[in-house]
């Protein structure tokens, strides 16, 4: 299994990205007077975890470039991480949140070569509910002449979950058995609330070496405990350079906000209401669910503000010089750079391998969660692909192809995410590749190629109709096209609103009523997750086993109910996304499908944490197709056919 990479001859460094829901913290790992980065993330090449990025450049006053990153496997399962200083010995311990507890990893190494002993569990002096997540830990110097405390950010989603009429307890978000989204009422309004982030201060009542954390005095704004109406983590920083720690957050609108300290004796206990310090950041951070950290990464004596985003990027911003009596503001966010060259396109990229420009090399067309259709040109070869940076597909109205839809299945948190899942196909048999895609609403769209073979140009997208109504699928479902009946026009294969796998034949540009595809026992195949995990089944039709019949590759989501009603061994599948081949054991005209778990070197494939998008492509020159997979951790992988079995 290989990560696809950008061309080494073009790019020395690229914006640092890893997994999704990136949560950075700064640490001088080797006692070299440089600020390295520890990043907690959901996803990544090896799944959720913690990655250490170390500085490779050393010039003071300039932005550093970080290395490719190494995974700290002993911290797997952590939702938040921080370095806790031990000033006496010029060392630091690591603290992380995991399984509802606070864990300390004592540093048993040297200042220049840290190593960590067996973890010590400290019960959280907070009541962590089933829907809560500790998303932020950072040292906080609240009281002078006392050991540092810990600033803790807890995301509480119970109030966010919908409460349908007549229901007392909150319900999981998703589609029910009738294909209805219970998150929204008949009037289209969200039935839940907003996600609340609660920020606490844990006071250390003993020593750095032998800490005893307990809940400190509450952080108050207008006499009320501080909460943030977004799933974000706050950080403390002396924003005004007045010797008092202030508190910075990112709100649900993407604006950086500061809460100034107003009590000089007990610095952070009483805060002013929030004040926006950067309207320019809003466009970059809108709906990113950002997590903050403060560090002097360029060694100029001033802390920068680090921003970890939902899509997995690490950004930074600097404080700007104040103007007269105006509050201090900050610059627009800019990316932190890394030597890593693997392709990372944010949360849930959906790739297609296709020779876009006719040069014989397989390029990539990728749909993104943010609503873009991107082209990545292969400037290498098929056996050794290397890619240029992504460019938006050219659109007839001279604007980048971008789709913004809502409301999303998962509610307001995703209402600005589109989750485009594209397929390339010559829909109208004119010799040009068109684009079919679904968005977050599950609607299926067509964007026609009105350009030429060597210069594609796309018309605005229009809904594909089934009869007189737009075809309705589910979110995060990629349709696939194939000329099933050999009439010269491709049919469309997708999941309907109830989760059943349907084949739609053509009546010109319109689709006829679909027919269910069946398993080996003649039962309709339902590619649907359990309640709250609907959709997320990306499809690819191909002759996978080389017998001349059409098979179907399926990206099966995590926690899927896929195996329900199928004759397969669910024990092979962990609760993580994987790829399954629906092998056609009958014929193209009267197909019957049997599920086969695809393995890599004998082991089941696992990608990301919620979903993946497979596509068949002849990368290696074999008679049979290889596999390319977009993982919801933002990484795109290739797998050589010779390394696969099922």
Per-residue pLDDT tens over the stretch 538-558? 999 999 999 999 999 999 887
C-alpha torsion 348→350→356→359, nearest 10? 80
d(CA 139, CA 211): 13
> What is the pTM (predicted TM-score) of this model?
0.90
d(CA 82, CA 86): 13
**Per-residue tokens: 106:** 């004592």
DSSP strands (E only) in 251-360 = 256-259, 270-271, 275-278, 291-295, 304-308, 314-317, 334-335, 337-338, 350-354
Structure confidence at residue 271 (pLDDT)? 81
Per-residue pLDDT tens over the stretch 14-61? 999 998 899 999 999 999 889 999 999 987 767 789 999 999 986 556
Is 323 a residue whose pLDDT tops 80? no
Is 530 a residue whose pLDDT tops 60? no
Is 567 a residue whose pLDDT tops 50? no
What average pLDDT does the chain have? 85
**Per-residue tokens: 253:** 């609108």
Is 171 a residue whose pLDDT tops 80? no
Q: How many other C-beta atoms are found inside a 10 Å radius of the C-beta of residue 50?
A: 26
Element (H, E) at 283: helix 282-285
Q: Is 140 left (phi over 0), alpha (psi -120 to 50) or beta?
A: beta
Strand partners, 200: 152
Per-residue pLDDT tens over the stretch 70-103? 999 999 989 999 999 876 667 899 999 988 889 9
Per-residue pLDDT tens over the stretch 459-479? 999 999 999 999 999 889 999
196 pLDDT band, cuts 50/70/90, is confident
Is 421 a residue whose pLDDT tops 80? yes
Q: Which comes out higher in pLDDT, residue 18 or 533?
A: 18
Structure confidence at residue 565 (pLDDT)? 44
Structure confidence at residue 177 (pLDDT)? 59
d(CA 309, CA 24): 9
Is 570 a residue whose pLDDT tops 60? no
Structure confidence at residue 185 (pLDDT)? 80
d(CA 226, CA 349): 36
Q: Which comes out higher in pLDDT, residue 110 or 406?
A: 110
Strand, helix or coil for residue 560: strand
Structure confidence at residue 566 (pLDDT)? 46
**Per-residue tokens: 279:** 């309207």
* Core vs surface per residue 392-420: b (16+ CB within 10 A) or e: ebbbeeeeebebebebbbbbbbbebbbbb
d(CA 229, CA 251): 7
Q: pLDDT exceeding 90 applies to what percent of the chain?
A: 43
**Average pLDDT rounded to a whole number, residues 422-426:** 95
């Amino acid at each position: 299994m290989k990560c696809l990479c950008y061309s080494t001859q073009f790019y020395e460094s690229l914006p640092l990205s890893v997994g999704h829901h990136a949560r950075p913290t700064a640490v001088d790992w080797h006692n070299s007077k440089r600020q390295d980065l520890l990043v907690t993330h959901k996803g990544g090449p090896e799944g959720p975890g913690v990655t250490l990025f170390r500085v490779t450049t050393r010039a003071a006053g300039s932005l550093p470039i970080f290395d490719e990153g190494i995974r700290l496997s002993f911290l797997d399962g952590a939702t938040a991480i921080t370095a806790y200083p031990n000033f006496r010995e010029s060392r630091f311990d690591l603290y992380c949140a995991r399984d509802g507890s606070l864990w300390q990893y004592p540093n048993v190494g040297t200042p220049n070569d840290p190593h960590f002993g067996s973890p010590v569990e400290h019960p959280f002096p907070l009541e962590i509910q089933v829907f809560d997540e500790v998303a932020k830990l950072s040292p906080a110097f609240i009281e002078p002449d006392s050991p540092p405390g810990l600033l803790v950010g807890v995301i509480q989603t119970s109030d966010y979950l919908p409460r349908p009429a007549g229901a007392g307890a909150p319900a999981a978000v998703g589609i029910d058995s009738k294909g209805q989204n219970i998150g929204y009422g008949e009037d289209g309004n969200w039935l839940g609330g907003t996600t609340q982030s609660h920020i606490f201060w844990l006071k250390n009542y003993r020593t750095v070496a032998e800490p005893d954390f307990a809940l400190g005095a509450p952080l108050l704004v207008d006499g009320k405990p501080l909460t943030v109406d977004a799933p974000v983590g706050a950080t403390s920083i002396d924003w005004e350079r007045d010797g008092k720690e202030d508190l910075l957050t990112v709100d649900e609108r993407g604006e950086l906000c500061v809460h100034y300290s107003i009590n000089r004796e007990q610095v952070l206990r009483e805060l002013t209401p929030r004040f926006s310090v950067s309207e320019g950041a809003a466009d970059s951070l809108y709906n990113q669910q950002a997590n903050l950290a403060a560090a002097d990464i360029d060694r100029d004596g001033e802390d920068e503000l680090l921003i970890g985003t939902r899509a997995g990027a690490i950004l930074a911003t600097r404080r700007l010089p104040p103007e007269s009596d105006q509050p201090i503001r900050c610059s627009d966010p800019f990316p932190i750079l890394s030597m890593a060259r693997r392709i990372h396109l944010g949360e849930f990229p959906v790739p297609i391998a296709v020779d876009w420009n006719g040069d014989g090399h397989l390029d990539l067309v990728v749909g993104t969660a943010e609503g873009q259709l991107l082209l990545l040109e292969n400037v290498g070869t098929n056996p050794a692909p290397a890619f240029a940076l992504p460019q938006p597909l050219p659109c007839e109205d001279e604007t980048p192809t971008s789709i913004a839809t809502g409301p999303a299945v998962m509610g307001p948190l995703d209402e600005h995410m589109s989750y485009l899942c594209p397929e390339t196909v010559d829909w109208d048999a004119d010799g040009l590749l068109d684009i079919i895609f679904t968005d977050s609403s599950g609607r299926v769209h067509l964007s026609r190629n009105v350009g030429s073979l060597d210069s594609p140009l796309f018309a605005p997208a229009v809904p594909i109709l089934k009869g007189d109504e737009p075809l309705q699928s589910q979110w995060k479902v990629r349709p696939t096209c194939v000329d099933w009946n050999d009439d010269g026009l491709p049919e469309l294969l997708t999941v309907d609103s109830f989760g059943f796998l349907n084949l739609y034949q053509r009546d010109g540009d319109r689709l006829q009523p679909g027919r269910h595809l069946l398993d080996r026992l003649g039962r309709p195949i339902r590619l649907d997750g359990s309640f709250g995990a609907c959709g997320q089944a990306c499809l690819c039709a191909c002759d996978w086993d080389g017998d001349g019949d059409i098979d179907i590759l399926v990206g099966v989501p995590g926690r899927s109910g896929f195996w329900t009603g199928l004759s397969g061994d669910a024990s092979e599948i962990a609760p993580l996304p994987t790829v399954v081949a629906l092998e056609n054991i009958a014929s193209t005209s009267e197909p019957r499908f049997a599920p086969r778990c695809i393995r890599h070197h004998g082991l089941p494939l696992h990608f990301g944490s919620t979903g993946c998008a497979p596509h068949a492509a002849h990368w290696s020159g074999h008679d049979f197709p290889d596999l390319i997979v977009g993982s919801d951790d933002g990484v795109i992988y290739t797998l050589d056919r010779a390394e696969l079995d099922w």
